[in-house]
Amino acid sequence: MTRITLGGAVLRGAVSTALTASLMAAPALGAPPVDLSKWSPEYVRSIAGTQEFDTAADCGKVTPLDYKGRLTFWYQGVFEGDPDLLRQYYKDFFETFRKTYPNIQLEEQALTYNDLLDKFRTALLGNAAPMAVRLQILGGTEFASKGYLQPLKPEDVGYSTEDFWPGAMKAVTWDGVTYGIPTNNETMAFIWNADIFKRAGLDPDKAPATWDDVVKYSKQIHDKLGIAGYGLVARKNAGNTPYRFMPQLWAYGGGVFDETAASPTYKQIELDSQQSKAALQASYDMYVRDKSVPVSALTNQQADNQPLFLAGQLGMMISHPSDYNVMLDLQKKATGTDKDKAQTVIDNMRYGLIPTGPDGKRAVVFGGSNIHILKPEYVEGGKVDEPAAKAIICMWTSPEWSLKMAYAGSNPGNLNGFKTKWMKERLDNIKFLDVTTSMLPYGIPFPALPQSPEIMNIIIPDMLQNALTGAMTVDQAADDAAKKVKDLMGGGL
């Protein structure tokens, strides 16, 4: 049972308000299409299905529908951990684009989250990049700061800056200039198996309130049932690792810099703070001391946790609402008694808010993707067909498609997406969507720095691996990571 004290409640309220203010602080004057101050599952339900949009007509004003051109386009596409539903929407999008713009010769290429950055960087070195690219949220500032991207703001494709999450706009802004448009934004939630909780002697209907509870619950599940408690992920070069560790780090009051502040300066490195070390210690306790998480956490990503969870071998994990659909897809593929076992797990699947830290701080990564146009000199052939690029960007970031392309696993980048009929349909079809939309105000964007991809994909996982393998103590691992960040920011070799 969680005791609520007045002090704790005030602190939690203050932290939550600060985070919400940070995320929602609009960079420009203007009213957003939805009232972000009223954000709640009830509010989201009340606005769903209240407005109609005609995507083809809207985009036709940006690029005429009979425009003749050619476009090369790379995007972070669906991967093995995504549900079939999402695959279908991606297929539908490109079919619809080709029908809407029959004279644009589109050459698209899908790449997985973990491969896209490497391939894109290599292509840029050889001036062989595509004309337009949809990157993970981490990538925007890296490529904008290096001068590879053209300035591009929502107004350029018929929308307004206020139509997008202010926090997401920060991720596409470098030196005061906007270089891209958010396509989708999401926050994850906490998932648990109620049946495992019950058998382990825990309250099946309550998520652990704090990260310390996660450590305790994980141990209890492991000790009583002999299975893994929490789905820790610590693989290097995998987006899944920072998305799961950073909420823990922030909740304990730590951070890489001051990215949780309303106006971060990114000047002070916080990875070696006592709070950051406490967060790392929690992972150490689960992996080394209690052995209550999958041993394979160091080479695992979330896609590896999904079958473990479905097999009833994992009690808790952090993920998207889409994991429910992934479980349904996997269950359909199961045979014999496995099918029934999987159904039992699905029936017992519960979603809740991500736990808080010891001081009541709740945080989650404000994730998502952005879409950008490259400068001609870095593109194969040295030319960019801007009208064609704007046509696909207008369509992808439209209320309709920014929602459909995020149907199962994310949320529309364009806030008008929440008003569409498809949002209403989605609220009925996607179980637990309320929980993840409720996490949005707690979202913290990754530091808007060109060095962020290396920090999040390499330095943070390295720190975890160094501590969890015993190669370093928790203190040494945190200090080592802080030093690496310092060297990186200093532009060292």
Contacting residues toward other proteins, per CB under 8 A:
118, 121-122, 125, 142, 145-148, 228, 234-237, 294-299, 308, 311, 313, 450-451, 454, 457-458, 461-462, 465-466, 468-472, 488, 491, 493
* Minimum CB distance to other proteins smaller for 305 or for 414: 305
Least gap, CB of 111 to other proteins (angstroms): 13
Question: Helix, strand, coil: what percent of the chain each, to 5?
Answer: 50, 15, 35
Least gap, CB of 233 to other proteins (angstroms): 12
> Helix (H, G, I), strand (E, B), or coil: what is residue 108?
strand
Dihedral, CA of residue 466, residue 470, residue 476 and residue 482, to nearest 10: 10
- The neighbouring-strand residues paired with 164 are 414
* Minimum CB distance to other proteins smaller for 59 or for 123: 123
Q: How many CB atoms lie within 10 A of CB 221?
A: 26
Q: Which helix (H) or strand (E) is 189 found in, with range? A: strand 189-193
Structure tokens at 7: 């002090």
Least gap, CB of 450 to other proteins (angstroms): 4
CA distances from 141 to 114, 191, 451 (A): 17, 31, 9
Least gap, CB of 132 to other proteins (angstroms): 20
Least gap, CB of 462 to other proteins (angstroms): 7
> Helix (H, G, I), strand (E, B), or coil: what is residue 180?
coil
**Beta strand pairing status for 349-352 and 189-193?**
antiparallel
* Minimum CB distance to other proteins smaller for 207 or for 477: 477
* Minimum CB distance to other proteins smaller for 416 or for 466: 466
* Minimum CB distance to other proteins smaller for 55 or for 313: 313
* Minimum CB distance to other proteins smaller for 203 or for 377: 377
Cβ-proximal residues to 463 (8 Å cutoff; 6+ apart), any chain: 271, 280, 477, 478, 480, 481
Least gap, CB of 367 to other proteins (angstroms): 20
Integer Cα distance of 404 and 425 in angstroms: 11
Least gap, CB of 411 to other proteins (angstroms): 29
* Minimum CB distance to other proteins smaller for 148 or for 197: 148
Integer Cα distance of 416 and 27 in angstroms: 18
Outline where DSSP puts E strands in 268-356: 314-319, 349-352
* Minimum CB distance to other proteins smaller for 444 or for 449: 449
Integer Cα distance of 56 and 93 in angstroms: 12
Least gap, CB of 294 to other proteins (angstroms): 5
